[in-house]
Amino acid sequence: MTTMRATRLAALVLAAGIVSGASLGASQRSEALRREAYDAAYNMDHERASELFRQAIAADQNDAAAHRGAATVSWLRVLFLRGTVLVADYPGHIASQARRPLRIGYHSSSSL
């Protein structure tokens, strides 16, 4: 898996977790813990994010979004530990790469 592809996968996993974060009927305590956990995950504090998701699950065991969030953070941690995604590949870096102009190689017949 290429680094850019892995980066996009990590960003997609995190974004999907955040978007799917809304859970109908979840307790307010669980929702608050999930928001804090996603903030920690975005800042690459995976241990804190995991702990916050464990607390969110304990606060409301029927909150599916808390379980999905815990799985999301676990997956991101695996990607980082395996070296598939590096700090430089994290979503902030993706945004800076997106602003760069696309370079297309051009070879004139005289340069060949």
At which residue do the structure tokens 């995604």 appear?
85
Across 66-86, average pLDDT: 88
Q: Convert the pLDDT of each residue in 25-75 to its tens digit.
A: 678 999 999 999 999 998 889 999 999 999 999 999 999 999 999 999 999
Instruction: Examine the pLDDT at 1 and tell me if it is beyond 80.
Output: no
- Give the model's pLDDT for residue 89: 64
Listed residue (1, 30, 35, 8) closest to 89, CA to CA: 8
Domain boundaries along the sequence of the chain: 3-97
Indicate yes or no: pTM above 0.85: no
